[in-house]
């Protein structure tokens, strides 16, 4: 399968978009996270379903008790539409979350007050479109394929 220069360029722009999302989440830079999603975006992540702004409220509440996260994107699979202006992607991710000792309430996983590592591996299944010359996520379904919670070695 020979790829065109336009498709190669699109793949890199889309990878950059996915990496920008991870950077925004890890730095709790909500403006950067928001810039990844179209205004008419529908986000599904775990039990959450809503708009981009509602997702940011959800994510900031969950991450409010987590001082450090690290999201990594792995394999990215692409299925471009015939016109080349939309694409379905599936990107594998691993997200590491460190929860400090002392948090008894409000953490997304049980910590029993101890420092805790919460690791989530899954997939971001996105529909993206090229709008106004740039790629943007218009729909996301995030799947958690597995999770692991362990006492942290601090």
CATH of residue 69's domain is 3.10.450.50
Domain encompassing residue 105: 5-151
In whole angstroms, what is the distance from residue 132 CA to residue 27 CA? 27
Residues 92-147: tens digit of each pLDDT: 999 999 998 887 666 788 888 899 999 999 999 999 999 999 999 999 999 999 99
The residues pairing with 88 across neighbouring beta strands, listed in sequence order, are 79, 127
pTM of the model: 0.92
What are the C-alpha distances in Å from 87 to residues 82, 105, 107, 110? Answer: 9, 40, 35, 38
Q: Specify the number of domains making up the chain.
A: 1
Q: Which of 24, 50, 14 is nearest to 141 (CA)?
A: 50
Of all residues in the chain, the percent with pLDDT exceeding 90 is: 76
8 A C-beta contact, residue 57 and residue 87: no
């Amino acid at each position: 399968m020979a790829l065109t220069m336009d498709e190669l360029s699109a793949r890199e722009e889309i990878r950059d978009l996915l990496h920008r999302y991870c950077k925004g989440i890890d730095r709790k830079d909500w403006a950067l996270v928001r810039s990844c999603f179209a205004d008419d975006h529908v986000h599904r992540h775990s039990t959450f379903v809503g708009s981009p702004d509602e997702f940011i409220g959800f994510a900031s509440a969950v991450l409010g008790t987590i001082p450090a996260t690290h999201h990594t994107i792995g394999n990215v699979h692409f299925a471009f539409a015939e016109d080349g202006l939309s694409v379905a992607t599936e990107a594998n991710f691993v997200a590491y979350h460190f929860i400090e000792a002392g948090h008894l309430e409000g953490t997304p996983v049980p910590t029993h007050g101890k420092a805790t590592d919460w690791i989530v591996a899954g997939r971001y299944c996105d529909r993206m479109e090229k709008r106004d010359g740039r790629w943007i996520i218009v729909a996301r379904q995030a799947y958690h394929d597995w999770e692991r919670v362990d006492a942290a070695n601090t």
